[in-house]
Structure 1
Amino acid sequence: MEQQPTVQNTERASRKERIGVVKSNKMTSTITITVERKVKHPLYGKFVKKTSTFMAHDEGNTANIGDRVRIMETRPMSKLKRWRLVEILERAK
């Protein structure tokens, strides 16, 4: 019979981070972020803009529409929320 290691692995896997623009802050403690990336077309080689939308938890309702923010992956908080606000990089002008 094998012995189980007594020390548990306390190191977590690195979490994904994204930088995007806040598109909506109308919900309580939730913001909607649009992340844009450029992907090269497989045949023609032209770079095409692709956008992804994420819902993130904003505890203090601090982010406003147009702010550039950093979000981090976290446990599921609701049906669509799997990200949380880390910091506001740039305020909207």
Structure 2
Amino acid sequence: MAAANQSLDANRKLVGKLKESRFSFIHTSTEKTEYDLPKASPEALKRIQNKLERENKSRKQKRLLLIGVLAILLVFVFNIFSFVLIKFTY
């Protein structure tokens, strides 16, 4: 049992050292980071909102067009495949 206690003590000491020497991109400090952000005017926010709406609309149209083309292509391929199967089964 003494060996287990010694091992636990050694591990506790190592954990503290690992936390200090560990390299991480995540900062664990409790300090709040201060940012110097510019104040946005209502007009600028409205412009950004309109721009995002236009981009989302065009992205949605492209997605629907792609899905439509793929659906038509899929139906076409299945029709050809079924025709070939029917032709060779008789």
TM-score (norm 1): 0.18
Highest RCO, 1 vs 2 (Cα 8 Å, sep ≥ 6): 1
* Structure that is richer in helix per residue: 2
Question: For the pair shown, which has the larger CA radius of gyration, 1 or 2?
Answer: 2
* Structure that is richer in strand per residue: 1
TM-score (norm 2): 0.19
